[in-house]
Each structure stands twice: as C-alpha cells, then as structure tokens.
Structure 1
Amino acid sequence: MTRRVRTVLAALLAAVLGAVAIPGVAQAATVNYVALGDSYSSGVGAGPYDLSTCLRSQKSYAPLWAAAHSVTSFRFPACGGAVTADVINGQVGALSSSTTLVTITIGGNDAGFADVVSSCRLGSTSACETAVNNAKAFATTTLPGRLDATYAAIRNRAPAARLVVLGYPRLFETGWCGLLAMSSYKRTILNQAADLLATVTAGRAAAAGATFVDARPFFAGHGVCAADPWIRDVSGLIEAYHPDADGYRYGYLAALTAAIG
C-alpha cells in the first residue's frame, strides 16, 4: 500500500469516526452560548470596549468563559443600560432552537439601582433611605413579573438551552473608608437592597427552572472600600459601581465556573 493510499484511507477513517458516535467513547459536546443582559454582563468597568454603544468588553465573564471552553459558537448581545424590555425586544433575537447555554444579568436597571446609588452618594441620609425603600418596593412588587416575562421569552426562543441567571454583588464594604466616602450606614442599606434583589431574582429564576448563580460570596471582601476592591468607585462616571477586570475574572467568571464548570 502506497503512502498516498494510506493517507487517503486515514482521512476517510477520521471522517467516519468524527461523524459516528462510538459507544463508550466520549464525544465533544456542542455548546452554542449566548450571553444576554445588562452592563454587568457586557463588561462595563473592565474595558477596553467594542465600537458599539453597549460597552462590551472581552474581559467580561462571558467571553472569558467562552474562550476557556472552546465553545462551538458564541453570541454576545448583552448591552450596558439594558432593562428587561430591552432583552425581550432586542436581545433574545440572538437565540435559536440550537442554543444550548444562555447566561444573563438583568433587573438592576429596572429597579433603578444606579440612581439609588447616586442618591445615596450625593444626597442626605434621608434621601438615601427613601431611594432604597422605593427600589426595594419595586423589587418585590413589579420586578418579579418582569423577570418572569424575560425568562419566558428566553425559553420560547431557546427551549433546549440551559438558562443561567447571575445575580449582582454587594457593592460595598462597610468599614472605615475615608472622610469623603459614603457613611457606613448608607453602604449597609445599599447592600441590604442588593441582598433583596438577589433573593427576588433567585426565586424567579428557580420558578423558571433556571440555575441561579449568587455572585455575592465571590466578591466578598472586594467591594468599594476594600483593600483590594474589584468594584469601581466614582473614578469613572460610566464605570462607577461596576466590576473591574479582576471582578469579572475572579468574581463573576469564578462564580459561573463553580456553578456549571
């Protein structure tokens, strides 16, 4: 048998073996991954960003996870500033019946969390309390229905996909943080609001049959005012109170990997 014939036969055998599942031999899984959500998924805070208005960064947890797992396909419509309606009306179009994995962070913008933090950063203690209480009331009355509708829209477009809902971290450590920082009390009630948002989101994710990933333990000790913060303070207007590159890698990516591998 000539070398050319052996080469042709080897190529044919490889093609056959690649096309046919062999009992007892593990086959590479097909992973068609779509990352939906808001700025905590698009990677705001990590930089550098793409040329869209969504501030997508390749240092966010989603592209990092996709690269580490050599996925079959990866789509990344997550967008800074997104609310649940944006996911339903725009982002779910990236899904299909062949999608096998969907991740999402959503709900914080619906609850107006950025405005709440700004009210506490710039306003009085009373103004901070009012903003936090309003956000908590929204999270318990209106947000659950919006989350249900969002998860249902995802299921409708990608019925075979595993849906993974990631929560938000607590933004603050509550110890001494300098004379110009928010008071410990303000930081504490903001963290309590984040805890409530996590509880609500986890409940609705469970009702939708999704996997909830709690980011809070992975960011513990690395909030604003920590010795080694993974959350940006007010140094960047757009990036304020978002994870930095370490937060996405060692916080969110670690949390996602712990949950799904």
Structure 2
Amino acid sequence: MKLSRIVAFSSSLLLGAALALTGAGQAQAAQSAAAVDYVALGDSYSSGLGAGAYISSSGNCKRTNRAYPALWAAANSPSSFAFTACSGARTGDVTANQLTPLNSATDLVSLTIGGNDAGFADVMTTCVTQSESSCVARVEEAKRFVDTTLPGRLDSVYRAIRSKASSAHVVVLGYPRFYKLSGSCIAGLSERERAAINSGADHLNAATAKRAADHGFTFADVVPPFTGHEICSGAAWLHSLNWLNISESYHPTASGQSGGYLPAFRAAA
C-alpha cells in the first residue's frame, strides 16, 4: 500500500475513533447529569421571590419554577430535585427546616443565605424611610454584623450541610449589587445611599465567599451577570421599591433569575 494511502487510511481511523469518543463522551455527560441528586436550599433569592408564578403549595416560602434551581433542574433533568428554599429564611431556618432531603447520595446543593441574618430588609426600610445619614449608619451596622456574627452562623449551616451530604458539590451563590451609580434614576435614594447599599452587598459577598471557600464549597458571584441590569440601569433585573407588593422589592425579576442567577449557578455546578 502506498504511503499516501496508508496515511489517508490511518487518518480516517483516527477521525472515526475521535467521533466515536465524542459521541460516547456526550452520552456519558448526559447520563452523568441525569444521575445527579440535587437539593436547593436558601432564602428568597433561591426560592424566586420577585419572579412571580409562585407554587401554591409553597405558601409563604414563595417558591417558583422561574427560580434558578427549578430552571436548572428543568434543563438538566436530574434524577431527583428537592426544592426547600424559603423566602425570609435565615441561617437557623435552613438548619432547622430545609435539610431533610440531604443524604449521602446527594450530589449537588445550591444555597443563598446570610442576607436576612444581616438585616437586609431593615437596611432597605431605613434607607427608604429615614435620612441619608441614618441609611449609611444602618449599612455600617450591618457590615459589623457580617464581620463579627455572620461567619459563625454560616459555619453552622455549612457544617450541617456537609454532615448530611458528605460528598455533595455545594455551590453558595452571592447577592447582586442593587444600584447602578450615576444611572437613570431621577428620584428616590441619594447617590451616597445607593453607594452605601452596594458596598454592603459587596461586604456580605466577600464574607460569604471566604466562609464557603474555607469549607471547600464553591462560591458563585452573581455581580458580573447583573452588571448593567441593576436598579437605575434602564434594564433592571431587580425590582425597585414596590409599595403594592412590598415583599418583592429589591428582589430579582424572572429575568434576573434566568439571566443572572442561572448562568452563575450553571457555571459553578
């Protein structure tokens, strides 16, 4: 056989093998995704408050199929999916009420927690209803809590998760910055107040990322995908203050869940 034919024949064999391996790899990847047992824990940013179409059986937890955990599950068809995230949850609520689905077979866990412990709702109420100086002072108070008290609470939650799901890949997601500074808003909070609130979110994210890393968990930062979609951006993925539905204020819209949280989780999962 001529050398050119040998080379051509060998190349065709290699190409066929590569295609076969690629197909096998794709099938294996699909099978692996389908074999995942996934549990979604956390607060309103995981339950989907603000995205609408709430599951009636979830009651005040305000879970929705528009939230990133349900969107990920719908796209990946895991072998099991438990959705226990609940609006208003603090760290103690997660350990007390949300961990039942976890076990040694759990492969994947997602979680947002800490904002309610740090007094997020009270910070926003203070900033909306009181003076600029009161707003800034309340943010600084929240930061001190994040520095002194929150780490221990996060440790307690993370240890409880690991004790029940010893081999799970745990993804801890952060919170977005709420405001685009020098943006399109012409009324409402001052720039100083908006900057203070953003700095509070950054402070909380940094502390959460540190504790997650120390426990061997993956931190997923949602600030990048939300950049350009903050309040005052003109294309917000977050609800501003809504007196008609106050609980949804400062929470992601359905677009915030699908365009902000879902890509961050998908990349980390």
After superposition, the C-alpha distances for 1:63-89 in whole angstroms (9 at most, x for unaligned) are 000111111110000000000000011
Aligned to 2:68: 61
- For 1:130-149, list aligned pairs within 5 A: 130-149=137-156
Aligned to 1:246: 255
Q: Answer with 205-214 or 169-178: which moved more.
A: 169-178
2:226 is matched with which residue: 219, 244, 254? 219
| In 2: Cα distance, 1:192 partner to 1:174 partner | 12
1:118 is matched with which residue: 110, 118, 125? 125
Q: How many residues align?
A: 239
Which SS does the other structure have where 2:77 is aligned?
A: coil
Aligned to 2:28: 26
| In 1: Cα distance, 2:185 partner to 2:149 partner | 37
Q: Structure 1 unaligned runs (5+)?
A: 1-21
| In 2: Cα distance, 1:165 partner to 1:77 partner | 15
2:177 is matched with which residue: 146, 165, 170? 170
1:46 aligns with 2:48: no
| Aligned amino acid, residue 170 of structure 2 | L
Give the Å deviation of 1:176.
Answer: 4.2
- For 1:176-255, list aligned pairs within 5 A: 176-235=183-242, 236-255=245-264
Q: TM-score, normalised by structure 2?
A: 0.86
| In 1: Cα distance, 2:204 partner to 2:157 partner | 16
Give the Å deviation of 1:224.
Answer: 0.9
Aligned to 1:258: 267
Q: Is the 8 A contact 1:224 1:231 kept in 2?
A: yes
Give the Å deviation of 1:170.
Answer: 0.4
More helix by share: 2
1:81 is matched with which residue: 71, 74, 88? 88
Alignment RMSD (CA, Å): 1.7
| In 1: Cα distance, 2:60 partner to 2:249 partner | 17
Aligned to 1:18: none
Q: Is the 8 A contact 1:37 1:79 kept in 2?
A: yes
**Are the structure 2 counterparts of residues 182 and 69 from structure 1 closer, same or farther at C-alpha, using a change threshold of 3 Å?**
same
Q: Is the 8 A contact 1:144 1:204 kept in 2?
A: yes
Percent identical among aligned pairs is 49
| In 1: Cα distance, 2:74 partner to 2:50 partner | 20
Q: Is the 8 A contact 1:176 1:184 kept in 2?
A: no
Give the Å deviation of 1:250.
Answer: 0.4
Q: Is the 8 A contact 1:37 1:104 kept in 2?
A: yes
